[in-house]
Structure 1
Amino acid sequence: MAYTIDVKDLEAKCAPFLRARWYVVVSRPTDKAEALLNTVTPEHLAHQIQTEQNGHMVAAGPLLSEDGQRFDGTGMFVLNCGSIEEARDICDRDPMHISGARTYTVRPWMVNEGGLTLRITFSDQKMQIV
């Protein structure tokens, strides 16, 4: 039996935490992927960069096999936007999805714990996530 809890109850239990609503997208190749990959990838990457520059892309990249040695074409990205509809709109404009090379699923994610540390050095104008 699956465990479920109403989101309002979950939010109440997590009140001290961040409770940010981000959107996790898993993008999987279709049977058309191999034929389209070389032509669509540059446009897809440009779309990803534009999404990042618009402030919606939190993180993105390929999902590797458990041993880290293979890639089956599945990718994941996390979007910070106002609604699941906005997340779907971003995905629907991705050339990989438009071309039919990939299909996607999107789910809301309540981000509670974690953190990032940035190291910025002024002399060489470099930034590092540590």
Structure 2
Amino acid sequence: MPLWTEYKSQAKARGSLALELYMVHSTPSAAPEDLKANLPDHLAYQAEQEAAGRLFLAGPLSDETGEQMQGMGLIIYRAESLEAARAIADADPMHQRGARSYTIRRWLVNEGALNLSLNLSAQKISFEKD
């Protein structure tokens, strides 16, 4: 299996986007009341990361049935390296205070579509969900 940098170079050579992002899978490691107590600080931290351009996407995950929420979350960061992304994740109050633990992975975005509509004079932005 090729090393990450070699794989990324090969993807770019094939014409893929090869955008490197960092995926954090955050899981509860404390009681539900601890999660709830840390939620305001966590959300404020996420808003700071978004304003700074480091947070790409984030939100809760369901269980495998798709019906229940169990406190797990997925966070996608923009960062200059895996180490920098890990530092961002470590500073999240949920992780810092032990209410959640996480795993982090590099994510090489190659394919897909995102449809946005920007109407300048109406000062309107919309996102196509379907």
- Fold-level match, TM-score > 0.5? yes
User: Aligned residue for 2:72?
Assistant: 74
Q: Is the Cα contact below 8 Å between 1:51 and 1:57 reproduced in 2?
A: yes
Task: Give the superposition deviation at 1:113.
Answer: 0.9
State the TM-score, normalizing by the size of structure 2: 0.86
Check 1:33–1:120 CA distance in 2 against 1; reply closer, same or farther (3 A cut).
farther
Letter of the aligned partner of 1:25 in structure 2?
V
- Whether the 8 Å contact between 2:54 and 2:77 is mirrored in structure 1 is yes
Does the aligned pair in 1 maintain the 2:59–2:74 contact within 8 Å?
yes
Between 18-27 and 32-41, the greater mean CA deviation after superposition: 32-41
Aligned to 2:18: 19
Change (3 A) 1:68 1:33: same
Structure 1 position 117, deviation (Å): 1.5
Q: Which runs of 4+ in 1 moved over 2 A?
A: 4-13, 65-68, 120-126
Structure 2 CA distance for aligned equivalents of residues 47 and 9 of structure 1: 34
AA in 1 matched with 2:110:
N
Checking the alignment, whether the CA contact within 8 Å between 2:86 and 2:104 is kept in structure 1 is yes
Assess, with a 3 A threshold, how the Cα gap between structure 1 residues 83 and 33 changes in structure 2: closer, same or farther: farther
For the aligned residue pairs, the C-alpha RMSD in angstroms reads 1.7
Is contact 1:55-1:80 (8 Å) kept?
yes
Report if the CA contact (8 A) 1:33-1:100 is conserved: no
Q: Give the share of equivalent positions with the same residue, in percent.
A: 39
Equivalent in the alignment of 1:105: 103
Give the TM-score normalised by structure 1. 0.86
Deviation sequence 1:74-119 (CA, Å, 0-9, x none) = 1001111101111111111111011111001111111111131111
1:17 partner SS: coil
Structure 2 runs not aligned, ≥5 long: none
Please state how far the C-alpha of 1:8 moved relative to its aligned partner: 4.4
Aligned length: 126
Pairwise CA distance, 1:11: 3.0
1:41 corresponds, among 35, 39, 45, to 39
Aligned AA for 1:85? E
Distance in 1, Cα, partners of 2:97 & 2:31: 9
